[in-house]
Chain A
Amino acid sequence: MMDEIDRKILNLIQEEFPLTERPFAKIGKSSGIGENEAIERVRKLKNKGYIRRIGPVLDPKKLEYMSTLCGVHVDEDKLMDVVEEINTHSGVTHNYEREGELNVWFTITAETEKEIEGFLANLEERFSLKIYTFPKKRIFKIKTFFQV
């Protein structure tokens, strides 16, 4: 179980992981523990599956990458084959089964629009699908912070 210090660390490093030579010394200082204990605690939080990773979060827009949300209806009997194929693309960052007629929803990011179109066209043809795309027009919020 997490204690108060773990929570403090998680809330802190979710916002920012220090960009300094000894990041854990800084994290320790802010949470009232030593550097070694900070390292130990973060390792434990990662091993227990609370932390997915620590690292850079990129802005695809600044990289001038193209991205879009896709929704598609896939019949149950070929669902896993389709999912597996979708997930092979390294630019597919989210892929969920959802309730509703369009039961598979994923996001894809690539360097060019052409690459995305090609990938989707290939999926459609191979599995006889109709993929709908919902590219974003305005961003009102992207938040990835979760109070723990």
Chain B
Amino acid sequence: MAGSPEKVLREIVYDFPITERPYHEMANTIGMSEEELIETLKYLKKEGIIRRIAAVLYHRKASYAYNAMVVWKVEEKDIERVGKMMASFREVTHCYERDNGGYWDYTIYTMIHGKSMEDCMNVVKRISKKVGIVNFQIFFSKREFKKTSLTMNHE
């Protein structure tokens, strides 16, 4: 491969220019051909290091103003089944099993986005009913201090 994947990850901008030939422009900046850059990015996608190349939106602007972190107490034997069921809800954007941090005994962590607080609450109720878990806590976000993407060009 002509363009080194490592170099591409470290040197390209993570906020593409909105121009006719963005790859051409970026390739020039980091000193490779447009074709090399595109091929390298394709390779990184194929390897899964780049999950996707896409537009990342501001959810607030797109009117999903509320996000709630909901933590659920689910027993070990039920985690796989319940986790998958929770993940099937459209409003659930993230669903993980996490270590309890030695702080409490919640095992499944979901992020729920909604257009209002009430929307989020309704989703939580629906999930709770469907999976049969009544031991949970909801933490709405009050302020967003930082929301950014992981990059490798720590500028």
Name A residues whose Cβ lies closer than 8 Å to a Cβ of B: 10, 13-17, 19-24, 35, 39, 42-43, 46, 48-60, 62-63, 65, 69, 71, 83, 86-87, 90-100, 102-106, 109, 132-144, 146, 148
For the complex of A and B, 8 pairs with smallest distance between CB atoms: A141-B87, A138-B97, A95-B146, A140-B83, A53-B15, A140-B95, A132-B101, A95-B145
Minimum C-beta distance from B44 to chain A (A) = 7
One of B64, B101, B139, B145 near A146 (C-beta < 8 A):
B64
With A21-B34, A58-B152, A99-B139 known as contacts, the answer to whether A136 contacts B96 (CB < 8 A) is yes
Contact call B146/A93, Cβ cutoff below 8 A = yes
Contact call B146/A87, Cβ cutoff below 8 A = yes
Contact call B69/A56, Cβ cutoff below 8 A = no
Contact call B57/A10, Cβ cutoff below 8 A = yes
Besides A99-B140, A135-B99, A136-B99, 18 other A-B contacts (C-beta < 8 A): A19-B41, A23-B23, A43-B18, A51-B55, A55-B13, A56-B9, A56-B51, A59-B51, A63-B152, A90-B154, A93-B146, A98-B140, A98-B142, A100-B137, A100-B139, A103-B142, A139-B96, A144-B93
Contact call A51/B57, Cβ cutoff below 8 A = yes
* Distance between Cα atoms of A109 and B100 in the complex (Å): 18
* Distance between Cα atoms of A144 and B62 in the complex (Å): 12
Contact call B58/A21, Cβ cutoff below 8 A = no
Contact call A148/B56, Cβ cutoff below 8 A = no
Q: Most A CB atoms within 10 A — which of B42, B94, B109?
A: B94
Closest to A23 in B: B22
Minimum C-beta distance from B29 to chain A (A) = 14
Asked if B86 CB lies within 8 Å of chain A CBs, one says: yes
Name B residues whose Cβ lies closer than 8 Å to a Cβ of A: 9, 12-16, 18-24, 34, 38, 41-42, 44-45, 47-59, 61-62, 64, 67, 69, 79-80, 83-84, 86-87, 92-103, 108-109, 113, 137, 139-152, 154
* Distance between Cα atoms of A115 and B60 in the complex (Å): 32
A135 — which chain B residues lie within 8 A by C-beta?
98-99
* Distance between Cα atoms of A132 and B102 in the complex (Å): 8
